[in-house]
């Protein structure tokens, strides 16, 4: 059984970071992360170009340290390098990358449909206002 739908984004950077346990109380969890990779991943998720879209997961390549293109086993076989070489996108939802082109086309179509719906609503109310 699949869990309830939830769309997230994920940016991952590589390098040293520090995790410290904190005192926790029932209903209150505390996590403390410090380090450049954590900050880089956070900033990329918030401000990266291109803007990360719902459902996407990407790895920053600058400090990755390994050539993931030489690894053919899962999950590495589901990584695809961006045109600008800045990221590897992880296509967790695909069985393999043979479906990548079709997936990208279908995803882009839904993205465009979202805005068509918004435009329809705006036109409806604007027409009513000016009639």
* pLDDT tens profile 91-104: 988 988 999 999 99
pLDDT bracket for residue 52 (50, 70, 90): very high
12 & 56 share domain: yes
Same domain, 117 and 68: no
Decide if pLDDT at 29 tops 80.
no
Mean pLDDT computed over 19-41: 78
Q: Are residues 14 and 57 in the same domain?
A: yes
Closest CA to 56 of 109, 99, 5, 107: 107
pLDDT tens by residue, 36-48: 888 899 999 999 9
0.75 exceeded by the pTM? no
3-state SS of 20-75 is EECCCECCECCEEEECHHHHHHHHHHHHCCCCCCCCCEEEECCCCCCCHHHCCCCC
21/82 same-domain check = yes
Query: Structural domain tally of the chain?
Result: 2
One domain, residues 72 and 55: yes
Q: Within this chain, do residues 6 and 30 fall inside the same structural domain, yes or no?
A: yes
Q: What ranges make up the beta strands (E) of 68-126?
A: 79-81, 87-90
In a shared domain, residues 69 and 26: yes
pLDDT band at 3 (very low <50, low <70, confident <90, very high): low
Q: Are residues 44 and 105 in the same domain?
A: no
**Structural domain harbouring 129:** 97-131
For residues 67 and 57, give the distance between their C-alpha atoms in angstroms, rounded to a whole number. Answer: 18
Query: So what's the pLDDT on residue 28?
Result: 75
Do 76 and 122 fall within a single domain?
no
């Amino acid at each position: 059984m699949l869990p309830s739908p939830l769309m997230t984004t994920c940016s991952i950077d590589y390098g040293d970071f520090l995790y410290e346990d904190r005192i926790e109380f029932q209903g209150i969890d505390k996590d403390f992360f410090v380090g450049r990779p954590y900050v880089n991943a956070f900033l990329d998720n918030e401000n990266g170009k291109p803007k990360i879209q719902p459902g996407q997961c990407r790895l920053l390549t600058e400090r990755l340290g390994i050539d993931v293109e030489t690894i053919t086993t899962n999950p590495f076989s589901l990584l695809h390098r961006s045109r600008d070489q800045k990221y590897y996108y992880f296509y967790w939802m695909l069985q393999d990358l043979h479906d990548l082109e079709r997936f990208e086309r279908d995803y882009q179509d839904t993205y465009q449909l979202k805005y068509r719906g918004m435009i329809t609503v705006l036109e409806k109310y604007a027409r009513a206002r000016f009639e």
